[in-house]
């Protein structure tokens, strides 16, 4: 469905967050809509007033939305229903408008775990999750679900400690983190995201050869963290893998159709200047 074919029956979807100008979700989802023949369009909405945005979704009958920083936790109280897994995680990154009822779920967790397990098993591994926000909650939940041993590394140790306690894990401040004994390290913070590409969430000497390092930041494709990890001899998992897998889950819930995963990935990689 091309942009020129947008009409009165076209379903509207979008991403809400602050900021969202860097998001490649519109490119990815619009390419998927066109490929499958879905009469839909997906746009980015910069949102500070979350309650107003949710009311607008109801009033304008949007088909669904993606939710990004900083709204993944706060939006839960504004929805008609939050699916049990998302409630357990404590974060929603996707909303479906089901005949006027706004239902929240979480595609971050299964998307992240699919991306990670393409490179390494999780069961029995010691996993350090950097951050304690909505994305960290989703990733940490997935780690425990798949048998990993969890360490939350977060500047706010009270917040990190609460998340660790919920999932029977441990918590540590970044200043105390050395990387010793860690099999898998996952960055869920925005550190290293465009335009602040020189930032990194941990010092280089926290990385060890043989460690698997995943960064959920997908723009740039290779963050400073991943570039350093690769040079040291770590296995790396870029943010595009998680981004595409979680987006495919969203697409399928919104449309009821099988997502064109490879097309979605090639669209994102092309936008990042990489070879699909």
Residues labelled catalytic: 72
Cβ(73)–Cβ(29) below 8 Å: no
Cβ neighbours, 10 Å, residue 39: 13
Q: Mapping DSSP to helix (H, G, I), strand (E, B) and coil, where does residue 132 land?
A: coil
Among 187, 176, 124, 180, which residue's Cα sits nearest to residue 150? 124
CB contact set of 98 (below 8 Å; sequence gap of 6+) = none
Q: How far lies 36's CA from each of 9, 32, 148, 257, 264, in Å?
A: 17, 6, 37, 8, 11
Can you say how many angstroms the Cα of residue 6 is from the centroid of all Cα atoms in its chain?
28
Peptide bond into 195 cis (omega under 30): yes
Cβ(221)–Cβ(240) below 8 Å: yes
Euclidean distance between the first and the last CA atom of the chain, given in angstroms as a whole number: 23
Give the number of residues written for the chain: 276
Among 72, 78, 19, which residue's Cα sits nearest to residue 54? 78
Cβ neighbours, 10 Å, residue 123: 9
């Amino acid at each position: 469905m091309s942009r020129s074919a947008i009409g009165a029956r076209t379903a509207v979807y979008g991403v809400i967050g602050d900021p969202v100008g860097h998001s490649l979700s519109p490119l990815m989802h619009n390419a998927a809509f066109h490929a499958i023949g879905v009469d839909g369009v997906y746009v980015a909405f910069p949102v500070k007033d979350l309650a107003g945005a949710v009311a607008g979704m109801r009033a304008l009958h949007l088909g669904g939305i993606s939710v990004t920083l900083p709204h993944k936790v706060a939006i839960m109280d504004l929805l008609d229903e939050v699916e049990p897994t998302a409630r357990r995680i404590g974060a929603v990154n996707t909303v479906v408008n089901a005949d006027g009822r706004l239902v929240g779920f979480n595609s971050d967790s299964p998307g992240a775990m699919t991306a990670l397990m393409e490179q390494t098993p999780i069961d029995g591994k010691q996993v350090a999750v950097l951050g304690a926000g909505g994305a960290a909650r989703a990733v940490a939940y997935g780690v425990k679900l798949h048998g990993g041993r969890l360490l939350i590394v977060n500047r706010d140790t009270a917040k990190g400690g609460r998340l660790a306690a919920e999932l029977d894990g441990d918590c540590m401040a970044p200043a105390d983190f050395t990387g010793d004994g860690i099999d898998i390290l996952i960055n869920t913070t925005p550190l290293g995201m465009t335009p602040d590409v020189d930032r990194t969430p941990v010092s280089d000497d926290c990385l060890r050869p043989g460690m698997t390092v995943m960064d959920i930041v997908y723009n740039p494709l290779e963050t400073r963290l991943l570039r350093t990890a690769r040079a040291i001899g770590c296995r790396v998992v870029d943010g595009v893998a998680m981004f595409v897998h979680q987006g495919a889950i969203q697409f399928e819930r919104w449309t009821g159709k099988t997502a064109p995963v490879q097309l979605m990935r090639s669209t994102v990689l092309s936008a990042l200047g990489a070879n699909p």
